Structure 1
Amino acid sequence: MAGNTLIYSLFLISILQMSHGCTLCPLRVPPRPRPLNQYKLPSLMEFETDNQKQFCSIAKNLQVDTQCRVSFERIMCSIDSMMEKCPGNENPLDCSSCSYKKQRSGWIYNWIDSLGKPGAGISDGNYYWLGDYETCQVLRKSGDFDGKYCRIKLEVPDSLVEENCPQTDPLAINIGVCFPAACSSETLENITRNISPYQTQVDCEFEVNWSSAAADITTISGFWVAFIVIISVLTACNYKFSARLQRACSLQLNVKKALSTKRMHMEHLYPLHGAEFLIFMCVMTGNVYNYAMPYIENVAFSFDGVHSPSMLLVNNYSYQIDGLFALSALYTTFLLYGSLKKVKDVLKVFFARFLRIWPAYVYCIFFMMFVFVRVSSGPMWIHSDTVQRCKSSWWKNILLINNFDSVRNTCIDFGSGISLEAQFFAVLLLMIYLAQSHFASVLGFAFLALFTCWTTSFVYIYYKVIPPVPILTAEPIAEEKIEKILEVMQFPLYRAPAFLIAFIFGVLMKTTSSDEEPNKIHVFWRKYSPGLLVIWNIVSVFFVLFALFPYASRNIGHPKFLCWMTAVLSWRVFFPLSKLTWIALVVAEPVILYFFTSLNRPSYATHWNMIYSAISAATMSYMIAFLIDIFLTRPIKSLLTNPSIDSYTECRRNERLEHQERCD
């Protein structure tokens, strides 16, 4: 068992490095900050005062629908009235008429004041010229002008770009404008492209009024929560319902199970819960740093850390969930190997895991598609791209096949991770079931598949000349190549090594810990796997814990190192948190986006601010995941399953057995 403990400990540290970032963040990286003199500004056309009254006629000739054109006429004609010079006392009638027009057009001063204007820190990456969002809202509420807040993204070319220069990305400036509400985003984009000398993109705030789908989801959620609360209260008052309904809708029981720290499985698996929480915090920290990039006013802050080794933990976010894949596979393999006697057992375990994650995941998808864009407002709160992604790919996300599609066709950023975990879990159960009767064949297949995945990934990336990871770099990488490597990373063939390695470790550790006479495979495993792991981790020197290996390998340091790591990672508090990790990662995206886009101004990023945001986002994600668990996941699971024996009683009984089975 001591040899297994060493192998297990080295395995934990081996996977801790692969755990940072989000899927779509590389496609949202803002332009690299450059000095102000590199902005290729257009030459201003000579403005003739004799032709001032041309705005109104221009608006009347716009090739748009009637309501949109009338709204633009109101703006442009009011500007003409504002710029018109009224006659003096020599013509009292015209003077009175002109003054009356100016008074009626007085709202145009507030409209002009609401437009976005250059701010300080442009060379530091302040690309948001948001204007005054509140003024646009006041004009709408007062009835002076029916407008909606929009952002125009201007792609200003770099004046110093030379031939073959790698940094050719334009400087994207976001200008806030209070456009007519009667005009669609497509119409406004066509108008701005005809006026602006640059490439433009228009994004407008979503409709303030709630759609029927959003209202239905909110209403159903409210009724469901009220139903569970009422059943729980009546049950506490000794009202009798069916046993299944009482078990499903009992808040007392669901909260007790969700927060329980009782662990009935083998003690040397306890550190897995702490390792899962540690990886979750690494993921959240990397996500916060990368999610925040498009919404901060000092974008240079992110690029300043490109050359810093200490910032590698948040920059190298490409393999964000490999550690979780490995932990999940190791945990499942070690607990289930030897207990899946029939195909029925395999289906039962898969169905239990399916009910544990899928209902909550589906609820989060519909929440992001219909409700999320309406929970706040502001100049930064424009998430029309999220709605469009969800509407075009929601069924692929629900069927857990969205990772086979384009990386842009995911509703939730972490959706590809959930799909990969479901696919790997199904394959893992099949491999565990077959390994019980065909051990050598399945183990050989796992090694062959591992080698095939590594070789195929290397050859494909080398042949396609794409970067190995979508890491933030000093010089920009073409967006087409970034999108290609992201699609490679969400394809199961290239992401399978983590779960294959965990399966190999789990099945060999489980079989070598038994009292049976070891075969040649077990002898080789016991002798050489610790050395191979040490070599692997010494090569991967980028993680700070690798510096502890010389200390851990000494005779005196080894037990101290194992005791220290086991004591920290085995805290009971990690057990209930580890059960919520996957759903917490799903809800992390809306939580982080809410932190940074619900503000009326872009944030100023510092390391302490990012760390504080990461801790806050992790806390909020776990709290929301806990509420989803007790109000949705556990009630549905209890309604659809009918356990013949209480899980805690079964675990206590199995605790006395030599070979424990998995307790769900």
Structure 2
Amino acid sequence: MKLILFLIFCVNLTQEKSSYSFDGSLFDSKELEYDEIDEKATGSVFSRYMADSKAQLILDLDLFHHFFNYAEAYKNGAEDGNLEIMKYAVEMVEKLKAFDVSAPCVGDMLHLAWTGVEYATHVEEHKNCSDCKCTPLFQQKKNERHWIFNVFDAMGKVPAGISSGNNLWVGSWSTCRKIEVVKNRQGQKWKGQYCLANVHAYERDNPLKNIGSVDAVDKHCFEPVSPTNITDDGQCFNLFPLLKFGVCMPNTCTDHDVKRMLTFAIRAAEAMTGMNKVCDVSVECRVESNSDAMSQNPLAMFALYLLIATTVIAIFGTLYDLFIIQNNPPESHPAINHGFIKFILAYSLYSNGLEILQSKKRDGEINTLHGVRFLSMCWIILGHTYYYIGASLTTDNLIPTLINFPQQFYTQIIVQAPLAVDSFFFLSGMLAAFFFFKKTMKADKPPSMSPMNPISWLLYYVKRYTRITPTYAVVMLFDVTLFTYVSNGPFWRPIEKQGCRHAWWTNFIYLNNFLLQDVECCMGWTWYLANDMQFHVVLMPILIITFLKWGMKPGMIVSSVIMIISSIIKLVIIEYKDFPPAPLLTAKLQIVKQLDEYWNHVYVRPYVRCTPFIIGVIVAYLLNAWTTKDQKDLRIKLERKHVIIGWTCSTILGLYSVFGLYWFAKTGDISEWWKILYILFGRPAYALALGWVVFACTTGNGGPVDTILSWRLFVPLSKITFCAYLLHPIMLQIYNLSRPQPFHFTTFGQMLRHTVEAVVASYLMAFFFALAFEKPFTKIDEMLLPSTKKVEVKSKKVDQELELLNQSRN
């Protein structure tokens, strides 16, 4: 109804203002291409009314106020029985055919308009109705047609907080979806369908370009027009829309139909106001049809059957484990070695749960890593909580939040959360190298464990691939299928917009940080897995062979050379592309546009991110080289002064890496030498600080830090962190996209609460995923590809049996 009324208003006013009139008929095909000549706007649609550049928060939406003011007037006209307005609405709907609007959509829009005419007719005929005879009939007729006001009420309206950048005029998704009325004697129904329109402005009206600028807000008024300062290249500003507008339409209208009607209304409004600000309109209607049902999606049904089958096997395996295995001695059930029995026992929730919840510390293990792993994941979830709320574009005060966010000192902990990813690179390199060194630095190492044996490396790669890929694949499968159907609402959309249709294979060959980045980013947060796999394939053999074959000094030299080359490459790319020293928000929000390119050229590239991995390998070597050969005791006695120096330097390096760019974040300005210094040493400083923490705690020099990081509660949480890493972005996006109304940033306490909720929800989901998928896949992998340790044990057992056999023969 509101759209119809706005079209009427546009037509009336366009005919009245000859200076903005179109050539020829208002509805001819020429205008449908929108090539009319509009007057050039004199100022930015976003900022021309703002006198203070630091207060430039507004998305000036006066262009759309006509829509709502006059639509409200026509609504009142319907309630007052103004038949002329409602009849004109019918005429306008009939002309929608000329806009390439489908016939079913036009038919339902016509039914809506005629219902409005009938409602106004009843109001007009019964204005003087006051006795008991006519009132009931009048009320009955009104009630039968009152649903048209529900359509109007479900539409988006001008909200509060426009001056704070509130561009979410979403209306009521639930109200629109409840509309369902019989429209003819055949029993066919007029059903409400919620559509969300995204209105995009031109790049020349970028609302971020002057925020944080020291130039006068009216600087452009005094600059002569020249080819060098003309920025109107016709491109759209696509970081976020000028307006998100909810409309309630009949379910017979397609996205194309709604887009055509909205685009014409906007072009007419621009012609009346002399502005040309909207470059594109996109519409997504939330229609329910049989083709959209999960039952019509073969991949989704496969995922559902897989989930059901897994549940059945898990129940059967758990019951068999509890009633057969646990209640009888091992020798009483020889079938336990049967392949099928091993398979179903791999899904035993009881055994898998005990393994996950086991928190016993073991000698010779680096127990500190459990705390580092869990706390680093909490840090990542904290950063992602902010990121996914902002990226979902479901926030009604996004711009003022982005402006104020970098001003606070403590927010550096949040914006520098990407440093926590370096914790996992460090842990990955250290753990793999530690156990490799532990096996190969023994005097009685088996020949198969020689670093020069290509077979050992091949087995290492296969084992690493089969260890993580099955769980990764299941999460991706559920992400693009079952998780698509878990919710709905005005902002709801699939987690993966393109369903990973194009780039899924790049994830499984672990090259998704290089291939098809400009086509599709499938599970974008898994760039880490690609980098990690590339480190193990390329860097691990180089470093391991160098350390084992030539010793500490050559190993340190090679490691240092690789890290220096990595830092130089990063410096060259950032200086050449004029990128910021780190991917963080600043007072000058123009940096937001740079972060996308920073992601592709710097953030996900292994030759830039390899330093923490290398430092992890170095720490692993030192722990093995400076302790006993059997590694039963990893303690090293250090002098007190060395411990103090180590912890002091570690603290300084850690604080520098996290807070070293605070002034840059606050002002948006940074000196060239400080920028270069942070590019070269910012991330390495964090990895070195973490390396000392792990080394000191493992060797008995950690004090209370070791006590905290080795807390037994962290052990089970650490075991399910891989699943939490894969699942937490999905959980956050489901939460953000399921909201019926926009989110509003308030305090840090609010976000801290959301972070705690996200951590709890992610780890709960991770626990069940680990029980049902990760643990079973690991056990099945061990059945098919036994680990080296098990092969060694089996080999020793065979040797002992042969020796006993020879003795008996003698």
TM-score relative to the length of structure 1: 0.78
Aligned to 1:173: 243
Aligned to 2:160: 120
Aligned to 1:542: 659
Contact 1:158 1:170 in 2 (8 A): no
Deviation of 1:433 (Å)? 4.3
Indicate which of 449, 473, 489 corresponds to 2:562.
Answer: 449
Q: Which amino acid aligns with 1:437?
A: K
Contact 1:413 1:589 in 2 (8 A): no
Which has the larger displacement, 114-123 or 231-240? 231-240
Deviation of 1:393 (Å)? 2.0
Say which SS state the counterpart of residue 283 (structure 1) adopts.
helix
Aligned to 2:586: 473
Indicate which of 499, 504, 512 corresponds to 2:613.
Answer: 499
Q: Which amino acid aligns with 2:504?
A: W
Q: Distance in 2 between matches of 1:356 and 1:140?
A: 52
Q: Distance in 2 between matches of 1:70 and 1:116?
A: 23
Indicate which of 637, 646, 655 corresponds to 2:778.
Answer: 637
Residue pairs, 1:98-109, within 5 angstroms:
106-109=146-149
Contact 2:467 2:781 in 1 (8 A): no
Q: Does 1:590 align with 2:730?
A: yes
Q: Does 1:249 align with 2:347?
A: yes
Q: Which has the larger radius of gyration?
A: 2
Aligned to 1:220: 306
Deviation of 1:137 (Å)? 1.5
Q: Does 1:262 align with 2:366?
A: no
Aligned to 2:263: 193
Q: Which amino acid aligns with 2:431?
A: Y
* Alpha carbons of structure 1 residues 54 and 471: separation in structure 2 relative to 1, 3 Å: farther
Aligned to 2:696: none
User: Which string of whole-angstrom CA distances, capped at 9 and with x for unpartnered residues, describes residues 273-321 of structure 1?
Assistant: 1111111111111111221223333333443221111111112344451
Aligned to 2:93: 56
Deviation of 1:587 (Å)? 0.5
Number of residues of Structure 1 aligned to a counterpart in Structure 2: 595
Contact 1:368 1:387 in 2 (8 A): no
Say which SS state the counterpart of residue 414 (structure 1) adopts.
helix
* Alpha carbons of structure 1 residues 84 and 404: separation in structure 2 relative to 1, 3 Å: farther
Q: Does 1:376 align with 2:487?
A: yes
* Alpha carbons of structure 1 residues 105 and 57: separation in structure 2 relative to 1, 3 Å: farther
User: Which string of whole-angstrom CA distances, capped at 9 and with x for unpartnered residues, describes residues 73-101 of structure 1?
Assistant: 44455456556688759xxxxxxxx9999
* Alpha carbons of structure 1 residues 329 and 38: separation in structure 2 relative to 1, 3 Å: same
Q: Distance in 1 between matches of 2:416 and 2:141?
A: 60
Contact 2:122 2:142 in 1 (8 A): no
Say which SS state the counterpart of residue 198 (structure 2) adopts.
strand
Say which SS state the counterpart of residue 530 (structure 2) adopts.
helix
Deviation of 1:534 (Å)? 7.0
Which stretches in structure 1 are left out of the alignment for 5+ residues?
1-29, 90-97, 517-525, 554-558, 655-664
TM-score relative to the length of structure 2: 0.65
Aligned to 1:617: 758
Q: Distance in 1 between matches of 2:525 and 2:139?
A: 59
Deviation of 1:151 (Å)? 1.4
Contact 1:151 1:175 in 2 (8 A): yes
Indicate which of 379, 389, 394 corresponds to 1:295.
Answer: 394
Q: Does 1:363 align with 2:474?
A: yes
Contact 2:100 2:257 in 1 (8 A): no
Say which SS state the counterpart of residue 504 (structure 2) adopts.
helix
Say which SS state the counterpart of residue 118 (structure 1) adopts.
coil
Q: Which amino acid aligns with 1:259?
A: L
* Alpha carbons of structure 1 residues 304 and 180: separation in structure 2 relative to 1, 3 Å: same
Q: Which amino acid aligns with 2:251?
A: A
Q: Distance in 1 between matches of 2:55 and 2:101?
A: 37
Q: Distance in 2 between matches of 1:141 and 1:344?
A: 71
Indicate which of 422, 432, 438 corresponds to 1:332.
Answer: 432
Residue pairs, 1:427-442, within 5 angstroms:
427-431=538-542, 433-435=544-546, 436-439=548-551
Q: Distance in 2 between matches of 1:461 and 1:417?
A: 20
* Alpha carbons of structure 1 residues 131 and 42: separation in structure 2 relative to 1, 3 Å: closer
Deviation of 1:334 (Å)? 2.0
RMSD, matched Cα: 4.2
User: Which string of whole-angstrom CA distances, capped at 9 and with x for unpartnered residues, describes residues 383-407 of structure 1?
Assistant: 2472315223222223322111327
Aligned to 2:457: 346
Q: Which amino acid aligns with 1:507?
A: Y
Deviation of 1:615 (Å)? 1.1
Q: Distance in 1 between matches of 2:361 and 2:174?
A: 53
Q: Distance in 2 between matches of 1:512 and 1:313?
A: 35
Aligned to 1:5: none
Q: Distance in 1 between matches of 2:412 and 2:114?
A: 55
Indicate which of 286, 293, 300 corresponds to 1:205.
Answer: 286
* Alpha carbons of structure 1 residues 88 and 582: separation in structure 2 relative to 1, 3 Å: closer
Indicate which of 580, 599, 604 corresponds to 2:720.
Answer: 580
Which has the larger displacement, 327-336 or 241-250? 241-250
Deviation of 1:441 (Å)? 5.2
Say which SS state the counterpart of residue 328 (structure 1) adopts.
helix
Say which SS state the counterpart of residue 283 (structure 2) adopts.
strand
* Alpha carbons of structure 1 residues 87 and 633: separation in structure 2 relative to 1, 3 Å: closer
Residue pairs, 1:600-615, within 5 angstroms:
600-605=740-745, 606-615=747-756
Deviation of 1:617 (Å)? 1.0
* Alpha carbons of structure 1 residues 537 and 205: separation in structure 2 relative to 1, 3 Å: same
* Alpha carbons of structure 1 residues 591 and 42: separation in structure 2 relative to 1, 3 Å: closer
User: Which string of whole-angstrom CA distances, capped at 9 and with x for unpartnered residues, describes residues 380-430 of structure 1?
Assistant: 3x2247231522322222332211132772222312122222222333542
Q: Distance in 1 between matches of 2:263 and 2:776?
A: 53
Say which SS state the counterpart of residue 600 (structure 1) adopts.
coil
Q: Distance in 2 between matches of 1:385 and 1:538?
A: 35
User: Which string of whole-angstrom CA distances, capped at 9 and with x for unpartnered residues, describes residues 495-519 of structure 1?
Assistant: 2122122223332443243579xxx
Deviation of 1:68 (Å)? 4.0
Contact 1:369 1:391 in 2 (8 A): no
Indicate which of 408, 412, 417 corresponds to 2:528.
Answer: 417
* Alpha carbons of structure 1 residues 536 and 278: separation in structure 2 relative to 1, 3 Å: same
Q: Distance in 2 between matches of 1:152 and 1:433?
A: 56
Q: Does 1:402 align with 2:488?
A: no
Contact 1:468 1:485 in 2 (8 A): no
* Alpha carbons of structure 1 residues 589 and 76: separation in structure 2 relative to 1, 3 Å: farther
Q: Does 1:307 align with 2:388?
A: no
Q: Distance in 2 between matches of 1:161 and 1:182?
A: 48
Q: Distance in 1 between matches of 2:481 and 2:357?
A: 31
* Alpha carbons of structure 1 residues 234 and 41: separation in structure 2 relative to 1, 3 Å: same
User: Which string of whole-angstrom CA distances, capped at 9 and with x for unpartnered residues, describes residues 6-44 of structure 1?
Assistant: xxxxxxxxxxxxxxxxxxxxxxxx999955584452684
* Alpha carbons of structure 1 residues 128 and 43: separation in structure 2 relative to 1, 3 Å: closer
Q: Does 1:387 align with 2:497?
A: yes
Q: Distance in 2 between matches of 1:402 and 1:206?
A: 33
* Alpha carbons of structure 1 residues 277 and 401: separation in structure 2 relative to 1, 3 Å: same
Say which SS state the counterpart of residue 367 (structure 1) adopts.
helix
Identity %: 21
Say which SS state the counterpart of residue 632 (structure 1) adopts.
helix
Residue pairs, 1:157-168, within 5 angstroms:
163=220
Q: Distance in 2 between matches of 1:346 and 1:470?
A: 35
Aligned to 1:24: none
Q: Distance in 2 between matches of 1:236 and 1:331?
A: 34
